[in-house]
């Protein structure tokens, strides 16, 4: 195999560890390029944003299972096309890498702090949720690209591929499992994490 170096390997291993449910504290973010390494504030912001996207219900929320750190790593390594050059870069000029791709975490920090009037982390959970709801509505109002769609998609991927998301939030059965050609949909029915044909993260 060519094209891999130690940094690529360590980054991929960290992503795999998070996807397999290893606690975020056990995953090192130090193997990222210095320009992509998050500050502690950014890690906390991504944790809280993840928790607002998927809050605790009968199962832990996305922030609790490390989906924020997963998203940071995924964005740095280009998952879900996050390292592609933007088609309309002018609106995000100050957050662009040399290759024309967006530093999503830097953009999100500035965007949410602006919407919060200074410090997103200083406002309460309900206000954070309201600000994210407004950002979400704006992002999905049109068909074009929007950085929030990428960030949110990776938070969801991080959560539903974590041990909690895949085995507690979703139903799980080892493949091949039993074949049931007809399953009734009842209230409270949960999708199967082991049925990838029925899962759409984006």
Q: Mind listing the pLDDT tens digit for each residue in 91-100?
A: 888 899 888 8
Instruction: Express each pLDDT in 61-86 by its tens digit.
Output: 999 999 999 999 999 888 888 889 88
CA distance 197 to 176: 14
Q: What's the confidence (pLDDT) of residue 24?
A: 44
Selected residue with higher pLDDT from 87 and 6: 87
The residue written with tokens 């504030």 in the block is 41
Say if residues 182 and 39 touch (Cβ distance below 8 Å). Answer: no
Alpha-carbon distance 79 to 86, whole Å? 15
How confident is the model at residue 71, as a pLDDT? 93
More confident residue, 91 or 108: 108
Do residues 150 and 81 lie in contact, with contact meaning Cβ atoms separated by under 8 Å?
yes
More confident residue, 181 or 83: 83
Q: Which two tokens stand for residue 38?
A: 């998050």
Give the CA angle between residues 145, 149, 151 to the nearest 5°: 125
- The span from the CA of 152 to the CA of 131, in Å, is 14
State yes or no: pLDDT of 42 exceeds 50. yes
Average pLDDT over residues 158-168: 83
CA–CA gap between residue 104 and residue 22 (Å, rounded): 24
pTM (whole model) above 0.85 = no
At residue 182 the predicted structure's pLDDT band, cuts being 50, 70 and 90, is confident
In this prediction, residues 186-200 reach a mean pLDDT of 66
Alpha helix segments (H runs only) across the chain = 6-19, 40-53, 67-77, 104-115, 125-139, 147-160, 163-164
How high does pLDDT run on average in the chain?
Answer: 81
Query: In 10 A of CB 106, how many CB atoms?
Result: 18
Q: Check whether 127 has a pLDDT greater than 90.
A: yes
């Amino acid at each position: 195999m060519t094209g891999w170096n130690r940094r690529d390997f360590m980054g991929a291993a960290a992503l795999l560890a998070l996807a397999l449910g290893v606690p975020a504290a056990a995953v090192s973010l130090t193997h990222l390029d210095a320009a992509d390494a998050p500050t502690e504030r950014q890690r906390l912001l991504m944790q809280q944003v993840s928790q607002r996207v998927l809050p605790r219900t009968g199962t832990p929320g996305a922030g609790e299972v490390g989906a924020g750190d997963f998203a940071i790593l995924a964005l740095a390594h280009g998952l879900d096309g996050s390292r592609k050059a933007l088609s309309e870069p002018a609106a995000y000029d100050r957050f662009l890498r040399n290759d024309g791709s967006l530093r999503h975490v830097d953009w999100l920090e500035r965007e949410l702090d602006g919407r919060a009037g200074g410090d997103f982390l200083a406002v309460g959970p309900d206000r954070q949720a309201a600000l994210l709801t407004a950002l979400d509505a704006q992002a999905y109002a049109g068909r074009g690209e929007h950085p929030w769609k990428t960030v949110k998609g990776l938070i969801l991927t991080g959560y539903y591929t974590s041990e909690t998301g895949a085995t507690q939030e979703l139903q799980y059965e080892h493949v091949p499992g039993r074949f049931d050609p007809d399953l009734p949909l009842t209230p409270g029915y949960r999708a199967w994490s082991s049925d990838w044909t029925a899962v759409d993260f984006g």
